[in-house]
Amino acid sequence: MLGGEVVFDLFLVLFFGFLVARLFEDLFARLGQPTVIGDLLVGLFFGASLLGWYPGGDVVEAVSVFGIVLLLFYAGLETHYGEFMRSLPVYGIITFGEALAAFGLGYVVGILWGYPPRSAYFIGAVLEATSVSVSVKTLIEIRKLNTVEGYTVMGIAVLDDLSALITIVAGSMLISSQTLDIPSIAKVFILAILVWYIIVKGLHIVGNTLTRLAAKLHVEESITAVILGILAGLAYIVKYVNLSPLIVAYAAGLGLSEAWGSKIVSERVKILAILFSTLFFITTTAKVDLRSALVPEYISFYLAMITVAFLGKILGGGLTSLILGYPLRSAVRISVGLFPRAEFCLIAAYIGYSYHLLGPEVYLSAILIVLVTNFVTPVILKHVYLHGPEYKEVKLRIGRTIKI
């Protein structure tokens, strides 16, 4: 039969994503809660934890990643290029503070629970990186993505993924050679930053030309097709420099955000992003088996890890923002937007586990952190963004102004 079982798995995934998830989303919308919670519950209920009906495999994983790439690409298109690039140094300072705090607290937990330093290093890496997919979807839903805090969260998240990449690379070197090869680490960091910047700046320069040439094609939706084709090509090419397509997605959207016709493309991409990103959130929780994760003797360790997962972003992202001059309410919004964890959290735990530096309890704690942060963040995020003043600009103590 054409395509075999893989095709039927794909149709089943689309059934859950397009129909079942919409019913769950509607329930939470009626309750006044972020709809992404409905997506996460679909994965939990129909996935490994309970019914086990949601299929897995490479095709499902690929489609879910495609969905989140579209969501982050849309977020980039909705960002103002000029203001974002002017504020990038500020985002860098906050990223340094929140990454250091999250990593440091994880390392301390590891040492307190009796892990040797190299193992504690990877526990810190588990807690470092932010995954803002849930935050982005919630901010889009409550129409707060284009805010001072929304831009700040996105800027930090981009740099945060790069810092997490460096942390994991450094850890891998530490395992294999027992030493840190500083030149090699610096090379990875510089290459990652350079590729990201070239994508953003290059597309910003040629964006108008690309969209105007695309408009001359005698086919329907030519601009949208060409732009999505460019996104796909870039997402493929960067595998040769070990960059995540998620980083590329936002970079491409940001670079094209001021191009002629970008608003039309943004409207088209939004529809696709809303539909397909649902699959990512369902797949994330569908892989979690809570029955195997909740081991009684490690409950105190799990609670400590979940606690510092939140505390690291509050002390790092929130406190650093406050010190720089963001109002208290803005600093709180930023720290909440940085709560979610996903792929880098699990990657760090898996690498530590595969090298026998970490036991299965750390990998399971990473799964619980992903689950808890993704469930809790939308509710808190909606509350902190919809209560209190909305700031059009923030004057920082370092002489810069963040504005929308």
Q: 327-374 pLDDT, tens per residue?
A: 999 999 999 988 888 766 766 776 677 677 777 778 778 878 887 887
Chain mean pLDDT for the chain: 82
Question: Which of the four pLDDT bands, split at 50, 70 and 90, describes residue 326?
Answer: very high
Rounded to an integer, the average pLDDT of 6-17 is 88
The tens digit of pLDDT for each residue in 220-236 reads 888 888 899 999 999 89
Pick from 42, 82, 79: which is nearest to 64 by CA?
Answer: 42
Q: Does residue 95 lie in a domain region?
A: yes
Q: Does residue 351 lie in a domain region?
A: yes
Q: Which residue has the higher pLDDT, 180 or 217?
A: 217
Residues counted in the chain: 404
Say yes or no to pLDDT of 215 above 70. Answer: yes
Which pLDDT score, from 0 to 100, does residue 169 have? Answer: 67
Q: Does residue 296 lie in a domain region?
A: no
Lowest mean pLDDT among 90-104, 187-201, 208-222, 300-314: 187-201
Say yes or no to pLDDT of 1 above 60. Answer: no
Which pLDDT score, from 0 to 100, does residue 308 have? Answer: 93
Q: Does residue 48 lie in a domain region?
A: yes
Q: Does residue 294 lie in a domain region?
A: no
Range of the domain at 59: 4-289+301-403
> Exposed, middle or buried by CB within 10 Å (0-12, 13-18, 19+), for 356?
exposed
The tens digit of pLDDT for each residue in 95-130 reads 999 889 999 999 999 999 988 888 888 889 888 877
Helix/strand/coil (H/E/C) assignment for every residue in 310-362? HHHHHHHHHHHHHHHCCCHHHHHHHHHHCCCCCHHHHHHHHHHHHCCCCCHHH
Rounded to an integer, the average pLDDT of 182-206 is 80
Instruction: Return the structure tokens found at 52.
Output: 């086990």
The tens digit of pLDDT for each residue in 283-325 reads 877 876 777 667 777 888 999 999 999 999 999 888 999 999 9
Rounded to whole angstroms, the Cα distance separating 115 from 180 reads 20
Q: Does residue 399 lie in a domain region?
A: yes
β-strand partners of 402: 394
Question: What's the structural domain count of the chain?
Answer: 1
Q: Does residue 75 lie in a domain region?
A: yes
* Pairing, β 401-403 against β 393-395: antiparallel
pTM, two decimal places? 0.73
For the CA atoms of the chain, what is the radius of gyration? Answer: 21
Rounded to an integer, the average pLDDT of 235-246 is 78
Rounded to whole angstroms, the Cα distance separating 337 from 333 reads 6
Q: Any idea what the CATH number is for the domain that residue 10 is in?
A: 1.20.1530.20
Which pLDDT score, from 0 to 100, does residue 138 have? Answer: 76
Q: Does residue 365 lie in a domain region?
A: yes
